Structure 1
Amino acid sequence: MTASRAASERPAHLGDFTLGPRVLLIALLALPVGGASAVAAFLLLRLIGLITNLVFYQRVATGLIAPGAVHHPGWLVLAAPVGGGLVVGLMARYGSEKIRGHGMPEAIEAILIGGSRVAPRVAVLKPVSAAVSIGTGGPFGAEGPIIMTGGAVGSILAQGLKLSADERKTLLVAGAAGGMAATFNAPLASVLLAVELLLFEWRPRSLIPVATAVSIATICRGLMSGTGAIFPVEHVVRPGAGEQLLTLIPGLTGGLLAVGATGLVYLAEDAFSRLRLHWMWWPAVGGLVIGLGGLVEPRALGVGYDVIDQLLTGRAGLSLILGILVVKTLIWSLSLGSGTSGGVLAPVFMIGGALGALEGTVLPHVFPGFWAMAGLAAVVGGVMRSPFTGVVFTLELTRAWSVLPALLIASVSAYALSALVLKRSVLTEKIARRGLHLTREYSTDPLEALFAHEVMTRNPVERPADLTVPGESAGARDGAALRDGFGPPGNGRPALPGRAVVFADHTLREVANILAHHNVTRALVVHRRAPHRLAGLITLDQLLHARRRDLHEELHRERLLPTRRSARAVKVSEAAPGAGDSSGAPDEKVGAEYK
């Protein structure tokens, strides 16, 4: 562990903007959010079941069932999705346009530019519109709407309290992840999805409340719907080394399928944008595409959990596998571009499972459903650009824990191919088309790697007249305030002195936070143990030193182990008179007084 890393793990102070008591408060607020999101997920699934039973089976029941379990008249298969799309379009036009789409991009947009604010009516209209869309045959999942609904629950609670935008974001994501956990009984995958898709950080201040909400939602889910796996797989055996390596096949083909499906989604979106129709009518046109596909393969309609179960347990026939792989991919991709309401995960599960099941007909047999599991993990990793979520989701859905290494190969290889071919995923492309920039790469902040004393100007010749060391003119009170961090102006504290001062062992990230918080570009540096003693001056320009070092480590390439020729050259140079170290490397020694 480096010195700077060890220092950054000391108890946080105000310079880091990460306060322990606030984390506990937000975690406490996440408890009711998790429970409410679980109830919302339960009600949404029951509403989808009710509409599906009414439309396709003409009975009153709330159990989840997909269309196609019995023969339906052709006119019903064709007309039901069109009617559902028309209802969704009307709800979006006259209710809220925010119900359009598959939930995750809308939640991301609320976080990025909306201050994590979600309108209360979205919490009602989004699940209802999704239930109408899916219940009338839409080939979508319930998880996208529940992400938006659970997120709305957390956001509405946060809006009623005096919280920061980051704290509202945490509660929004806590509700979204809680809804996911309650839908699929997959708590760890839900937390990973929150980190990989929604939080844009991995920090205690957000991870602890999200995990709290997910835990409560999972407990509530167990009380309402049971604790068993959604798609339990039996007769699981650990695949051998050869079979594990062969998961590269569903991995790479799953990556290609992810690229193709993502391209189809935005090809359809571009085509709908050119229609001479108001966007209110687009979901009905998408419904026509769905109905035509349903005439070919009725089992491709609806949420399709029963079909996923058949694929993952090895009970799906070849005709069903081919029908799902071709028809589901086409109608899901093309209708999603119409802006209708519905999620992407369940269709991706089904498409990935069908791909793996098809390849399993020619690959070595491991156990029923093994290759479908590999395909599912691969397509999730490729479409969502969330490889760990793809692996853990598959494991929690099936409880087949012994196949983890094989799924990791499949998911990461699909992710790698998708990342190489596509600039953005099916989620982030939608965000980019709205004029927003979103990075999905996570790395350590270079400003965390250096201390203030490593870049500051030591013993400045001239001290700025507007900066004074606490205690020199502001009194001991400001010295005590500096030892505790820094506080807002007022209470006798001067505007610049005492606020434009940092400690020598502050990381550059903490220095940047202090400068930004008080809108200054320079600060005096003092010793933590002797806050009245001036150590140096640090400016905004000097913070770039960390970025320069980070760029050097990324771009500079050198051979460290010498070749025979270079070794001989070194010996000759060392034998020459006056030879010495001319590397010009900077002195990295850190003064003990700053440790």
Structure 2
Amino acid sequence: MSPALLTPWIRTVWQPRRGLAIAEACIIGLVAAFSAVFLKFGSGWLGTWRVHSSHVLPAWLFLPTVGLCFGFLAGLLVERLAPEAAGSGIPQVKASLANVPVKLSWRVAVVKLFSAIIALGSGITLGRQGPTVQVGAALAGGMSRLVPTSPDHRRQMIAAGAGAGLAAAFNAPIAGVLFVVEELLQDLSELTLGTAIIASFIGGVVSRLLGGRSLLLNLELTKSSSSFSIPEIPFFLVLGVLAGLLAALFNQGLIKSIKLYRRLHISLPLRVALAGFISGVVVAILPNDFRNNTGLRESVIAGGADASLAALAFLAQFILTLVAFGSGAPGGLFAPSLILGSCLGYIVGVCEVQLFGFGSTTTYALAGMGAFFSAVSKVPITAIVIVFEMTTDFNLVLPLMIGSVTSYLVADKLMPGSLYTKLLQLNGIDIKEKPASVEGVLTQLTARDVMQRRVETLDAEMSVEEVVQAFSRSHHRGFPVVEENKLIGIVTQSDLLKIHDRNLAKDTPLREIMTPQPVTVTPRHNLANVLYLLNRHQISRLPVVEGRRLIGIITRADIIRAEADRLNCENREHGPQPEPSYVVYQTRSPSTGRGRLLVPVANPETAAILLQMAAAIARDRHYEIECLQVIIVSRQSSPAETPVRTAKSRRLLRNAEVLGKKWKIPVHTQIRVAHDIAHAVLETIKERHIDLILMGWKGNTSTPGRIFGDVVDTVIRQATCEMVLVKLGNSQESIVNSQKSPLLPLFPTPPLSHSLTPPLLHSPTPLPPPQFNRWLVLMAGGPNARAAIKLLPALVTLGNDPKIRLTRVFKPSELEPDMRVLQEAIRTLMRRRNLSSTVVAAPVQADSVIEGVINLVKTERYDVVVLGASRESMLQQAVKGNIPEAIASGVDSTVILVRGAINN
């Protein structure tokens, strides 16, 4: 059976939903058990090798070296392959179950598994139980995507996977179920409870059968040594109070440790390596028993240690866990909490025995495990059941309940709320107690969050024939209508019926059939308001306006997509992402323009001419200019916390402000500190609602796999606004003969010629240099060609006596060239009354576009080459054959590449 037919077949076979859930829970339990056993034996083998080698080699050298190298390797795996695998993993699972877009996939599970083995094998004092919970949840998340079901079903499977992971790690299936109910999902529905029970019991039983016994407690020894009597109740209360106090201090220390590492501004591999190195140094100094955490824990529980050793173990474990966890190493807090609790309980038990001569240190050690675990994780019921299931000793039930409940109450009073919730808040994730409903999504998200930021618009002066052609070329059922960049109406397919009903002529302007004064929303409207307006007016799309300027459009499909993404916890970002850029300097002018033009300036030698071109476009379109300077800092440093010098950048931006005052154009400036230039540019485009970006381009790139260069490639693919790339010419030879060469077509077809000579608009500045007089515009049809034609009236004002040639390249095999594109371009230019240029349209014959353009430029000595390429031809060819770079490298003239605005 083919994969395409497999999914519908699975959907049919595994109905109803209950049968599918039970089957999935069984498989999840098995997979979680295998992964838990693999993690146990993998980290155990690596740890055994480390401990054995430390007795053979010098411990003071070997242990820090292993911690440093293995820690760096574990951090590198996480940073490069799955950043979601950092830390214990339980906060990520909790966030995913709360419908926060945190990725849980097979990739995360595999990276977490191997990085945890390496990290724990390096000697850092963290546990494997937390990672096992995330591995189980991630495996369940990846598995649930094989069979498409509802988001609620997927959440239940992830919760079942987390419970199975905990059950397999501790061999405690009941504890796995309770942890899901008490901490993660907080859902007691029949399906949730049933799948969690099935997955947890299968995970726990299979793990035990495969030899994955959790803490390796000597059960016979603990049963024979444990005891409890009524007079000991006050001591267990004291134990609970101490555990609560110290656990609250421990949780505060964990948060402060994370913040301290962040202030160091170093990468995750270096942080984990540093933690491993410190752990290795400390363990090498301590007695040999501290090299094996499992052996030390057993010794304390069995009563084989004295109080001083237990106190030293508590102090060392307390500090080293803070050092390790704050680094972001892939390891959990369950095992350290149990060790700390056993040491604390043992100390209290020794004190009781010495004071009153009765009591069992083993009972206090086990009760201390549950008490400290309960206070740290805020799950008292789970803590009681975990210790009980590991020992199956009924003598421990009442001491465990007294210590765990008391410690929980004390810790929650000192530090309210879940530790995992606070860890998520450190990363800017604020989850609610219950997952957000669809109504919550509609009220939380705004039009700005989901709108399409750039849409295709139609000019009010377009003829109805051109409107029909626009509809035929597009899948859209409606277009906003703009005049001087202001929204004045909207035209839909139903409006086209007016053409036939009224017998309108083909040259009738669009304003005759459009719907004027359309219903609009602002970016601050929430989706509930948007949906109400869509239903109220029975329409399928709403323009989004800021003031009188169109900044986007929102449809019913956009709202449905936003709801689906939130419910499915979709995260569209993959891999490590650079931190947001930080604005360290900015100036603002009055916002009187109809749009915004962004000019990233970097090179002082080319900034002046780029700003002149920007000013010409801004004056023609009544735009504001946004000038951007980007200062790059190392990825190990936070842009918001790195000191930088801005004196040179500010001087460069002041020139732009002077030019703006001269031309009476609003000019805004800003300096951003960022890890990546392209990322900073894209952030600026989004935040400032940029309509057009004008960038300098060197004309070639030496980076393999790149077309225009790292920065330009990223911006041209991701920026939805209109884009203009400029490679300035490096030769002035064309100036000498600029007025001597007649415009002779190279193809034997009569040229289309028009002289457009209305008076120029008043210009308060001197005319630009003369190297912008002779313009060659390559036409290939499509929206980018039209975008280039719309820019020409502004750009040609840079010349003294501009002359424009529109051309297309045809192969010799074509008998008669298609002149429709050139004719349409001429008509578009004729509508511009402020254009004073001679326009000639003539095709050229050549075997290739590159050869034809280069030969034409060299023969006719054109000053500027404008590539108005279509998305279907030129830009796709640019990715394969890099036509713009070939043309830019082959001519000394200025080359301008135009790419129109695109939809998200």
TM-score by length of 2: 0.44
2:279 matches 1:279: no
**Which residue matches 2:51?**
56
**Which residue matches 1:305?**
294
Q: Does the CA contact (< 8 Å) of 1:141 and 1:303 recur in 2?
A: no
- Which blocks of at least 5 consecutive residues in structure 2 are unaligned? 1-14, 436-527, 533-904
**Which residue matches 1:161?**
147
Greater RCO, CA 8 A, separation 6+: 1
**Greater Cα shift, 396-405 or 250-259:** 396-405
Distance 2:434 2:363 in 1: 31
412 and 201 in structure 1: CA distance in 2 versus 1, 3 angstrom threshold: same
115 and 84 in structure 1: CA distance in 2 versus 1, 3 angstrom threshold: same
1:326 counterpart letter in structure 2: L
2:426 counterpart letter in structure 1: R
**Which residue matches 1:33?**
28
Shift of 1:316: 2.4
Shift of 1:238: 4.7
- Which blocks of at least 5 consecutive residues in structure 1 are unaligned? 1-19, 59-66, 443-515, 521-595
56 and 373 in structure 1: CA distance in 2 versus 1, 3 angstrom threshold: closer
Distance 1:152 1:349 in 2: 25
Distance 2:432 2:309 in 1: 38
Distance 1:193 1:433 in 2: 23
Shift of 1:172: 1.4
Q: 1:191 aligns with which of 165, 177, 199?
A: 177
Shift of 1:73: 1.6
Distance 2:211 2:330 in 1: 25
Q: 1:261 aligns with which of 250, 260, 268?
A: 250
Shift of 1:305: 2.6
Shift of 1:301: 6.0
**Which residue matches 2:113?**
127
Shift of 1:116: 7.4
**Which residue matches 2:899?**
none
Q: Deviations over 1:75-127 (max 9, x none)?
A: 11222212222112211222111121111112112222346751221111101
2:46 matches 1:46: no
Q: Deviations over 1:207-261 (max 9, x none)?
A: 1101001111122123211779842212155522221232011100000111111
Q: Does the CA contact (< 8 Å) of 2:32 and 2:203 recur in 1?
A: yes
SS at match of 2:295: helix
Q: Does the CA contact (< 8 Å) of 2:226 and 2:363 recur in 1?
A: no
Q: Where does 1:82-231 land on structure 2 (aligned, <5 Å)?
A: 82-114=68-100, 117-225=103-211, 230-231=216-217
Q: Does the CA contact (< 8 Å) of 1:129 and 1:341 recur in 2?
A: yes
**Which residue matches 1:316?**
305
1:44 counterpart letter in structure 2: L
Q: Does the CA contact (< 8 Å) of 2:71 and 2:274 recur in 1?
A: yes
**Which residue matches 1:379?**
372
Q: Does the CA contact (< 8 Å) of 1:382 and 1:418 recur in 2?
A: yes
SS at match of 1:369: helix
Shift of 1:151: 1.0
Q: Deviations over 1:384-427 (max 9, x none)?
A: 00011111111112222222122111101110011111133332
Q: Does the CA contact (< 8 Å) of 2:98 and 2:432 recur in 1?
A: no
Q: Does the CA contact (< 8 Å) of 1:116 and 1:168 recur in 2?
A: no
Q: Deviations over 1:495-526 (max 9, x none)?
A: xxxxxxxxxxxxxxxxxxxxx9xx99xxxxxx
SS at match of 2:104: coil
Distance 2:96 2:434 in 1: 20
Q: Deviations over 1:279-301 (max 9, x none)?
A: 33111122232123213436686
**Which residue matches 1:291?**
280
Q: Where does 1:66-85 land on structure 2 (aligned, <5 Å)?
A: 73-85=59-71
1:288 counterpart letter in structure 2: F
Distance 1:303 1:22 in 2: 47
326 and 287 in structure 1: CA distance in 2 versus 1, 3 angstrom threshold: same
Q: Deviations over 1:532-582 (max 9, x none)?
A: xxxxxxxxxxxxxxxxxxxxxxxxxxxxxxxxxxxxxxxxxxxxxxxxxxx
Distance 1:228 1:103 in 2: 19
2:237 counterpart letter in structure 1: L
Q: Deviations over 1:21-49 (max 9, x none)?
A: 53443122100110111011111111112
2:314 matches 1:325: yes
Distance 1:228 1:436 in 2: 32
Distance 1:21 1:255 in 2: 47
Distance 1:89 1:388 in 2: 34
Distance 2:293 2:50 in 1: 16
**Which residue matches 2:408?**
415
**Which residue matches 1:473?**
none
Q: 2:329 aligns with which of 328, 333, 340?
A: 340
1:216 counterpart letter in structure 2: I
* Percentage of identical aligned residues: 24
2:385 matches 1:399: no
Shift of 1:183: 2.0
1:384 counterpart letter in structure 2: S
TM-score by length of 1: 0.66
184 and 299 in structure 1: CA distance in 2 versus 1, 3 angstrom threshold: farther
Q: Which protein has the bigger helix share? A: 1
**Greater Cα shift, 414-423 or 271-280:** 271-280
Distance 1:132 1:412 in 2: 35
1:357 counterpart letter in structure 2: Y
1:408 counterpart letter in structure 2: M
**Which residue matches 2:751?**
none
Q: Which protein has the bigger strand share? A: 2
358 and 72 in structure 1: CA distance in 2 versus 1, 3 angstrom threshold: farther
Shift of 1:440: 6.0
Q: Deviations over 1:117-159 (max 9, x none)?
A: 5122111110111111111101111111111111111111101
Q: Does the CA contact (< 8 Å) of 1:147 and 1:175 recur in 2?
A: yes
Distance 1:71 1:368 in 2: 36
1:146 counterpart letter in structure 2: T
Distance 2:290 2:82 in 1: 26
Distance 1:246 1:387 in 2: 19
227 and 148 in structure 1: CA distance in 2 versus 1, 3 angstrom threshold: closer
SS at match of 1:335: helix
Distance 1:271 1:300 in 2: 30
2:205 counterpart letter in structure 1: I
**Greater Cα shift, 346-355 or 289-298:** 289-298
2:389 counterpart letter in structure 1: E
Q: Does the CA contact (< 8 Å) of 2:240 and 2:405 recur in 1?
A: yes
**Greater Cα shift, 205-214 or 282-291:** 282-291
Distance 2:141 2:376 in 1: 27
1:213 counterpart letter in structure 2: A
Q: Does the CA contact (< 8 Å) of 1:245 and 1:409 recur in 2?
A: no
2:137 counterpart letter in structure 1: G
**Which residue matches 1:435?**
428
SS at match of 1:138: coil
1:291 counterpart letter in structure 2: G
SS at match of 1:316: coil
72 and 49 in structure 1: CA distance in 2 versus 1, 3 angstrom threshold: farther
Q: Does the CA contact (< 8 Å) of 1:387 and 1:415 recur in 2?
A: yes
